[in-house]
Amino acid sequence: MRVLILGGDGYLGWPTVMDMAAKGHEVCAVDNYLRRNMAQETSSEALVPAPNLHDRAGIFRSVADKAVRVEIGDCADPQFMEALFQDFRPEAVVHYAEQPSGPYSMMGVREARRTFSNNLDATFNVIWSAIQFAPECHIIKLGTMGEYGTPNIDIEEGWLDVEHKGRSQKFLYPRQAGTLYHTTKVLDTDLLWFYVRAYGLRVTDLMQGPVYGLSTAESDMDERLLPNFHYDDIFGTVVNRFLVQAVAGIPLTVYGKGGQTRGYLNLKDTLQCVDLALKSPVDAGDLRILNQFTEQFSVNQLAGKVKQVGDRMGLNVAIKSIENPRKEPEEHYYNAAHSGLIELGLQPHYMTDDVVASMLEEVIRYKDRIDERKVLPRVKWS
Amino acid sequence: MRVLILGGDGYLGWPTVMDMAAKGHEVCAVDNYLRRNMAQETSSEALVPAPNLHDRAGIFRSVADKAVRVEIGDCADPQFMEALFQDFRPEAVVHYAEQPSGPYSMMGVREARRTFSNNLDATFNVIWSAIQFAPECHIIKLGTMGEYGTPNIDIEEGWLDVEHKGRSQKFLYPRQAGTLYHTTKVLDTDLLWFYVRAYGLRVTDLMQGPVYGLSTAESDMDERLLPNFHYDDIFGTVVNRFLVQAVAGIPLTVYGKGGQTRGYLNLKDTLQCVDLALKSPVDAGDLRILNQFTEQFSVNQLAGKVKQVGDRMGLNVAIKSIENPRKEPEEHYYNAAHSGLIELGLQPHYMTDDVVASMLEEVIRYKDRIDERKVLPRVKWS
């Protein structure tokens, strides 16, 4: 299949590009280095510098004998996107091309505007490029579990059947997110759902939880193919920060009470999920929503896991609660459905002690590169 | 109070400008003539040409002895909006500055992009101009009843209490609209709700139904102060089209089965509602949502009303069903709450036979200006 991967330089994008190419698809990887630029601007570079996307593709070709087409351009630019669709005529589009950081989106007006314009315009352009030049293509869009927020009822898989005054209606599950970044994904889903109904598009919206892991079948072939590992407060996830803090010998910083609970998954499972979505296309006029995670953890549980494994490795890990820079419930109900991808065939890789240990070992390899100034919160909500 | 009215040249904007100025507020009216330009581009001009906004303000000053400040500029331009907020420091903002036509937004990619960018960027700029330069101001945002669509359960006033598996949660009432224009207002509401929570803004979101009427206390003073009356398929409402068809002696064109039901209100009541919202500001961090209409009618009921009154006036009105150019349910459940504004003190002006007759009389005055080519559907959904 001709698979267009937007945001192909990202933490998920690059492993997806390699995975899809390894599976024999004709892959076009698109990126404009927005995240690299924002990371540099905010002094939040990844632990290990990555070669540029052309070079990554070159290394991958030499190692795996698989060619990948690379296009450097801005998915928020309609001319660029339309020309790309016209030329490549994708059968599937994997749309990761969004500013991916909650904290970045909360820094101020400039960062908010950049997040808002980039993310909404990219999605709008995907929709209209598909309508015009590839109406049958399957759009696989990366949403986020963060769209749902932390409601006091169970989170269902995309939709909610509501009984009200003796009548019933199925709705998109109501969403309210905790950062502007997550809110742009709420808007993306609203917009996609409208155009699915109006123009019969085929869309899978993957509500993904935070992803961890540095190892995939392809990235393990050569260290220059490593996924981007951000451990800072802006582009890093809580798992990555904890791993780096454990290795650097500084306390794991829990924001507030640490009861913040989310659904997590291994990077290997992201690749499986996208592949499973690709292999089971949706009908014209259908929006399929899948909750993409395998296990729920609270921040305290994650800290405990990293401490337990780290201590066994002699890292002598401390845990410290600090003032929460975010506006978010620190103790809340959380129970989210996630059976759709299992039904499609997902074989989860859980966060075992071995997995945590291997991530810690990977970070230890690059211990000298850790910049402790990147780890503590630099962005406060309002 | 210092009241900033964005979209002050519009069908609602201009009467609101006059009403607020007549009530003694310090009013700044802002517009960039986007609707006028789009109407000209699509050959959808209003029945009676309106003087430009500066001239309207001049006429109003000479007739009513009330000064209104006029600023011509684009609310989607952040520099313009921020400078305006810094200079005028509004205590209240009435935000009408959106491309208001469903059919326009469904014409094609160019019109969709224009609608999407203009509406979302204007709202984003209102939010951030307020955060930066007028954090205490009350933002009164024009939403639409169309955000709710036509669910099979009662439409509540903004929020829905959901019981699910023995637990409960209050959500924004789930929304799914029938055009891109209406969808941009769904996104507006999502965005406002996020920033209300994140930055403690004060917002009233008015879910308004279609408005009819040409008469307000101020516009009745001079015919040059008349609200814009669009009767075409793109910017006109179904009520206006029926009035013009009745006067022109052409059949009232019902789209499909005509069971499409919505909540309608008189222009005089829009003015009352905005004034009532202004007089009862919301707390910091509150999003108040009010359903702004006074009566529900189906399209068939509206056609029947116009025919009945028109026939009595000797117009000999015919009604004809034509193929529906839209994708929409033509028969559906519809029962929408609308008690919030009544509780604030709204005294409704209902669509009586006298009101229909006076609107027909007004159209008869300008009968020679009717362009029949504007009346039939020129835009099909997809």
Q: Which tens digit of pLDDT belongs to each residue from B145-173?
A: 999 999 999 999 999 999 999 999 999 99
**Is A382's pLDDT higher than 90?**
no
Each residue's pLDDT tens digit, B301-313: 999 999 999 999 9
pLDDT for B382 equals: 76
In chain A, which residues have their Cβ closer than 8 Å to the Cβ of B160? 162, 164, 174
Put simply, whether A247 touches B (Cβ < 8 Å) is: no
Our CA dihedral for B98, B99, B105, B108, rounded to 10 degrees, sits at -120
Distance CA B218, CA B210 (A): 21
Whether A174 sits inside 8 A of B176 (CB atoms) is no
Task: Scan for tokens 């069903």, then name that residue.
Answer: B321
User: Which is nearest to A16 in space by CA: A327, A245, A278?
Assistant: A278
Question: What confidence tens digit (pLDDT) does each residue in A223-276 have?
Answer: 999 999 999 999 999 999 999 999 999 999 999 999 999 999 999 999 999 999
Q: Assess A33–B contact: CB distance below 8 Å, yes or no.
A: no
Integer Cα distance of B283 and B303 in angstroms: 42
CB atoms within 10 A of CB B217: 13
**Contact criterion met (CB < 8 Å) for B124 and A113:** yes
Q: Which of residues 300-339 of A touch B (CB under 8 A)?
A: 327, 333
Contact B124 A132 (CB under 8 A): no
Residue A183 with chain B: CB contacts under 8 Å? 190-191, 194
| pLDDT above 90 coverage of chain A, percent | 99
Amino acid identity, residue A48? V
> Which DSSP category does A364 fall into?
H
Query: What is the rounded distance in angstroms from the CA atom of residue A263 to the CA atom of residue A293?
Result: 5
Q: What is the largest CA-CA distance in chain B?
A: 64
Smallest Cβ distance to A198: which of B193, B333, B381?
B381
* Residues of chain B positioned with their CB less than 8 A from the CB of A175: 190
**Of B174, B191, B200, which has the smallest distance from its Cβ to A174's Cβ?**
B174
A130–chain B Cβ distance below 8 A for any pair: no
d(CA A342, CA A324): 34
The C-alpha angle B170, A255, A99, rounded to 5 degrees, equals 75
Contact B128, B78 (CB under 8 A): yes
Q: Rounded CA gap, B25 and B17, in Å?
A: 9
Each residue's pLDDT tens digit, A326-347: 999 999 999 999 999 999 999 9
Please, which contacts does A55-63 make with residues 24 or more away whose CB atoms are closer than 8 Å?
A: A56/A9, A56/A14, A56/A224, A56/A225, A57/A17, A57/A29, A59/A222, A59/A224, A59/A225, A60/A18, A60/A21, A60/A218, A60/A225, A63/A221, A63/A222, A63/A225
Could you say which residues from 58 to 117 on chain A have a Cβ atom under 8 Å away from some Cβ of chain B? 78, 106, 109, 112-113, 116
Asked if residues B320 and B269 have their Cβ atoms less than 8 Å apart, the reply is no
Phi, psi at residue A114, to the nearest 5°? -60, -45
Length of chain B: 382
Q: What is the pLDDT of residue A118?
A: 98
**Average pLDDT of span B210-233:** 97
Q: Could you report the per-residue pLDDT of A160-215, keeping only the tens digit for each? A: 999 999 999 999 999 999 999 999 999 999 999 999 999 999 999 999 999 999 99
The closest of A155, A92, A144, A148 to A119, measured between CA atoms, is: A144
Q: How far is A339 from chain B (nearest CA, A)?
A: 17
Across chain A, mean pLDDT equals 98
Identify the closest residue of chain A to B327 by CA–CA distance. A198
Distance from CA of A229 to the nearest CA of B (A): 29
Q: What pLDDT, on a 0 to 100 scale, did the predictor assign at position B215?
A: 96
Residues B225-273: tens digit of each pLDDT: 999 999 999 999 999 999 999 999 999 999 999 999 999 999 999 999 9
User: Does the distance separating the beta carbons of A153 and B164 come in below 8 Å?
Assistant: yes
Mean pLDDT of A34-61: 97
Contact check, Cβ <8 Å, A164/B167 = no
Indicate if the alpha-carbon torsion angle B98, B103, B106, B107 is positive or negative: negative
| pLDDT, tens digit (0-9, with 9 covering 90-100), for B55-107 | 999 999 999 999 999 999 999 999 999 999 999 999 999 999 999 999 999 99
Are A327 and B197 a contacting pair at CB < 8 A? yes
pLDDT score at A77: 98
- What strands lie across the sheet with B261-266, from one edge to the other? B211-212, B261-266, B295-298
- How close does chain A come to B98, measured CA to CA in Å? 17
pLDDT of the residue at B121: 98
Distance from CA of A78 to the nearest CA of B (A): 10
Q: Is the pLDDT of residue A49 over 90?
A: yes
Whether the pLDDT of residue B329 is over 90: the answer is: yes
The closest CB to that of B151, out of A153, A169, A177, belongs to: A169
Average pLDDT over chain B, rounded to whole? 98
